[in-house]
């Protein structure tokens, strides 16, 4: 849609060109959310495209994604064979409620900064133990673990004017075995629950997203029994702890969480 409150679009070639932040500014990434509804509090868009950040870099250290990496670019990544968890990348791209038009415009960083429960790039990077790099307007870059970034539905730790620069996924997380479960009420609909388990040396790491307002991560350090798994989920997610919206009732999402978590545990407990 046309945003008729916008009077200026800035296209900086360096983030340093935006030294002062003021009310009315908004970073523009793919624009798939920004242009989907009126932005009455915004008069200036600051387009990230001209920053020219390389979308994807990978090395023996792991995978470095620019915040401006588009979903379509990530989908077409050819990962090294030792990254056993790499198929999760496509699984999570496919978990978008989105057409190819969205895929070609939406960015990984935009999805993370939207911080919706059903943000599949949040699920992916949290399950793979990513570290995000943030650029404040008036301070040194800072890093935050993906699991600590989202604080609630459409809420996160980003400070005023702060820019999400990149996400680093360590090779050690990409080398783990994994299991993925996802449900949506409609075909290609927004996720009701998206759970990912990864495992190495008997350590199960379970990441629960979409069902809850923010990601919940459970690290066991061993392979739990079904009873222990359920007990730990109950301890971390209270009876009213799931997210109620048109994409599924809280009770339904709670049920899916137990159901998928146990499937993941059973699958990964089977060994290599």
Ligand X SMILES: Cc1cc2nc3c(=O)[nH]c(=O)nc-3n(C[C@H](O)[C@H](O)[C@H](O)COP(=O)(O)OP(=O)(O)OC[C@H]3O[C@@H](n4cnc5c(N)ncnc54)[C@H](O)[C@@H]3O)c2cc1C
Measured distance CA(156)–CA(109) in Å, rounded: 13
Q: Which residues contact 1 (CB under 8 A, 6 or more apart)?
A: 35, 36, 37, 38
Cα–Cα distance for residue pair 167/233, rounded to 1 Å: 27
Instruction: Note whether 114 binds ligand X by CB under 6 A.
Output: yes
Residue 118 as a binder of ligand X (CB under 6 A): the answer is: yes
Using CB under 6 A, which of 85, 116, 194, 218 touches ligand X? 116
Residues listed for the chain: 272
Least distance from ligand X to the Cβ atom of residue 121, Å: 7
243: DSSP letter? P
CB of 48 to ligand X, least distance (A): 6
Query: Using CB under 6 A, which of 51, 67, 92, 204 touches ligand X?
Result: 67
Interface with ligand X, residue 96, by CB under 6 A: yes
Footprint of ligand X on 34-63 (CB under 6 A):
34, 36, 48
Q: Which two tokens stand for residue 248?
A: 């599924």
Main-chain phi, psi angles of 260, to 5 degrees? -70, -35
Long-range pairs of 218-227 with CB within 8 A, sequence gap ≥ 24: 223/199, 223/265, 223/268, 223/269, 224/265, 226/262, 226/265, 226/266
Please, which of residues 175-214 interact with ligand X by CB under 6 A? 190
State the residue number with the nearest CB to ligand X. 110
Work out which of 69, 164, 195, 208 binds ligand X, going by CB under 6 A.
164
* Main-chain dihedrals φ then ψ at residue 111, nearest 5 degrees: -65, -40
Number of residues that bind ligand X (CB under 6 A): 31
Using CB under 6 A as the binding rule, whether residue 74 contacts ligand X is answered as no
- State which residue, 146 or 268, has the beta carbon closest to ligand X: 146
Binding region for ligand X (CB under 6 A): 26-34, 36, 48, 67, 96-98, 102, 105-107, 109-111, 113-114, 116, 118-119, 158, 163-164, 190
């Amino acid at each position: 849609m046309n945003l008729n409150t916008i009077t200026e679009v800035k296209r900086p070639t360096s983030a340093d060109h935006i030294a002062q932040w003021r009310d009315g500014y908004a970073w523009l990434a793919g624009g798939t959310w920004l242009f989907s509804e009126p932005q009455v509090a915004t008069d200036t868009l600051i387009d990230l495209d001209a920053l020219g950040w390389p979308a994807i870099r990978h090395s023996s250290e792991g995978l470095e994604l620019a915040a401006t990496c588009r979903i379509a670019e990530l989908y077409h990544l050819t990962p090294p064979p030792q990254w056993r968890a790499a198929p999760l990348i496509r699984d999570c791209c496919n978990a978008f409620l989105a057409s190819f038009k969205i895929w070609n415009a939406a960015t990984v960083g935009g999805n993370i900064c939207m911080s919706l429960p059903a943000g599949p790039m949040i699920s992916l990077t949290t399950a793979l133990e990513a570290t995000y790099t943030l650029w404040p307007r008036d301070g040194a870059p800072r890093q935050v673990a993906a699991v600590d970034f989202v604080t609630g539905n459409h809420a996160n730790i980003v400070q005023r004017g702060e820019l999400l620069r990149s996400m680093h996924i360590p090779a050690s997380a990409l080398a783990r075995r994994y299991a993925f479960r996802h449900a949506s009420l409609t075909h290609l609909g927004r996720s009701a629950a998206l759970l990912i388990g990864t495992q190495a040396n008997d350590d199960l790491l379970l990441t629960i997203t979409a069902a809850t307002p923010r990601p919940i991560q459970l690290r066991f350090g061993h392979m739990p029994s079904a009873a222990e798994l359920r007990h730990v989920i109950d301890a971390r997610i209270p009876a009213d702890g799931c997210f109620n919206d048109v994409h599924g009732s809280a009770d339904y999402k709670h049920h899916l969480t137990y159901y998928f978590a146990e499937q993941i545990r059973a699958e990964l407990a089977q060994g290599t």
